[in-house]
């Protein structure tokens, strides 16, 4: 068994940013374990703008940004091991690895999980219909187009209307693929207002509020059928379906481990320092929740570096914790899920909250019927929402804090 100071699982945006910053802060023996043949993560196959504006003060495409993150990490002294899959997490920062040379273990002082997010599959959405060839996530399409120069279809429909669904349109454009329609089951399109005319500009018919969606096809996709918002039955001939968005953290490792998972985010339960339920494990990047931008993950990971350095020098250990619970059907998730009562500073200052549907009211943090904080909120599911964690520092009670919308 080999050893290192910090083992980082996943060499995407977050893992590389974190590793670089750790080296800059003077930590030695920082190892990034990446299962793909190349590090860089999801941006490797996002062959479009805008990446890197805040990080490098330059407008970059995803692959260039990923390469820049890798080069910066290498220059800082990070040991990046590609083709290395972490296959199991054990208590006290011990990892099982599958490497090109065979199976091995790695003992670290701290492990940081940075395994990112992916889109949920057609099966996970219980989409009705047949299962022919040609049903892909945006990520798989991007990988085919940008990393392998392949074209899986010519006239697909896009299911979903999140930001990534717009990336799908751009990815199609790159290969001369012409989407036949964009289809959303929700009554409204899922991006900020200024982006909404985009499908129309690209000449792609948009259908929102559709019901009874079905995929038809024998060997390959032949059509999708649905009932549109006006109640009319629709049939669109197509040769592919891009099943986009509805992100879920890539948490296979986590689910099979001793660490606690938050069913709401699908990611790990963490405290304000990013520590998982085993304090030898930290987590950052999009593994925490669905979903943030690359830039957000880059900065979030860099902030995590300082917390790790602090914890290595002076472990926080098992201090008492307050449970933070999203107790409202309108709230999709809230994170961190735990607040550790300690006088140590440097943790996250805000909770990150997302809604299930457009909602308004008073967002509040309550503990045993006592309101610790509240503020007016009118928001939508695609927006970031924050609530301050500082009111928790001043309560002596360790009872659960409920996040509610009243």
Contact residues for other proteins (CB under 8 A)? 35, 37, 45, 83, 85, 87, 98, 100-103, 118-119, 121-124, 126-131, 133, 136-137, 139-140, 142-144, 147-152, 175, 214, 218-220, 248, 250, 252, 255-256, 261, 263, 266
d(CA 67, CA 321): 39
- Which residues are bridge partners to 52 per DSSP? none
d(CA 365, CA 367): 7
The structure tokens listed for 256 are 């099979």
The structure tokens listed for 378 are 């009118």
* Residue 127, binding choice from other proteins, ligand FAD, none, Cβ under 5 to 8 Å by partner class: other proteins
Q: Write out the H or E segment, with its range, that includes residue 16.
A: helix 13-24
d(CA 288, CA 268): 6
Full DSSP string of 345-363: --S-SEEEEEESS-EEEEE
**What mask of x and - would describe binding to ligand FAD in positions 40 to 59, judged by CB under 6 A?**
-xxx--x-------------
Cβ atoms of 112 and 18 closer than 8 Å? yes
Burial class (CB in 10 A: 0-12, 13-18, 19+), 256: exposed
Q: How far is the CB of 36 from ligand FAD (least distance, A)?
A: 5
* Residue 33, binding choice from other proteins, ligand FAD, none, Cβ under 5 to 8 Å by partner class: ligand FAD
Closest to ligand FAD by CB, 46 vs 224, is 46
Q: How far is the CB of 285 from ligand FAD (least distance, A)?
A: 3
Closest to other proteins by CB, 28 vs 211, is 211
Q: How far is the CB of 232 from ligand FAD (least distance, A)?
A: 32
Closest to ligand FAD by CB, 133 vs 170, is 170
Q: Measuring CA to CA, how many Å separate 387 from each of 3, 264, 267, 279, 352?
A: 39, 17, 20, 24, 7
d(CA 208, CA 191): 13
Closest to other proteins by CB, 57 vs 149, is 149
Q: How far is the CB of 187 from other proteins (least distance, A)?
A: 18
Query: Of 12-20, 74-82, 181-189, 365-373, which part binds ligand FAD (CB under 6 A)?
Result: 12-20
Q: Site residues (CB under 6 A) for ligand FAD?
A: 9-15, 33-36, 41-43, 46, 85-86, 114-119, 138-139, 142, 164, 167, 250, 253, 285-287, 291, 293-295, 297
């Amino acid at each position: 068994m080999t050893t290192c100071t910090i083992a980082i699982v996943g060499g995407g945006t977050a893992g590389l940013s974190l590793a670089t910053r750790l080296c800059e802060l003077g930590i030695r023996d920082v190892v990034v374990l990446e299962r793909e043949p190349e590090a860089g993560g999801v941006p490797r196959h996002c062959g479009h703008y805008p990446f890197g504006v805040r990080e490098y003060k330059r407008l970059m495409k995803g692959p260039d940004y990923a390469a820049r993150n890798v080069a910066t990490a290498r220059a800082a002294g990070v040991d990046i091991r590609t083709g290395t899959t972490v296959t199991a997490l054990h208590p006290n920062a011990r990892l099982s690895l599958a490497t090109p040379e065979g199976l091995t273990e790695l003992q670290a002082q701290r492990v940081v999980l940075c395994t990112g997010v992916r889109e949920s599959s057609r099966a996970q959405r219980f989409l009705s219909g047949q299962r022919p060839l040609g049903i892909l996530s945006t990520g798989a399409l991007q990988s085919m187009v940008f990393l392998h120069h392949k074209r899986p279809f010519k006239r697909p429909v896009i299911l979903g209307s999140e930001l990534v669904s717009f990336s799908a349109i751009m990815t199609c454009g790159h290969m001369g693929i012409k989407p036949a329609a964009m289809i959303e089951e929700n009554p409204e399109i899922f991006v900020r207002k200024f982006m909404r005319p985009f499908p129309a500009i690209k000449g792609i018919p948009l259908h929102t509020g559709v019901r009874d969606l079905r995929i038809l096809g024998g060997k390959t996709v032949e059509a999708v059928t649905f009932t549109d918002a006006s109640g009319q039955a629709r049939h669109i001939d197509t040769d592919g379906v891009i099943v986009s968005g509805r992100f879920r953290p890539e948490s296979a490792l986590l689910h099979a481990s001793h660490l606690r998972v938050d069913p709401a985010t699908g990611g790990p339960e963490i405290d304000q320092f990013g520590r998982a339920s085993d304090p030898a494990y930290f987590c950052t990047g999009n593994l925490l929740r669905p979903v943030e931008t690359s830039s957000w993950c880059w900065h979030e990971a860099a902030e995590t570096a300082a917390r790790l350095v602090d914890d290595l020098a002076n472990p926080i250990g098992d201090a008492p914790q307050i449970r933070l619970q999203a107790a409202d059907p309108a709230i999709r998730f809230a994170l961190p899920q735990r607040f550790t009562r300690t006088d140590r500073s440097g943790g996250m200052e805000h909770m990150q909250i997302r809604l299930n549907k457009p909602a308004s009211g008073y967002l509040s943090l309550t503990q045993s019927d006592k309101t610790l904080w509240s503020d007016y909120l009118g928001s939508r599911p695609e927006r970031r929402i924050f609530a301050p964690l500082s009111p928790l520092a001043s309560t002596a009670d360790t009872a659960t804090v409920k996040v509610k919308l009243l």
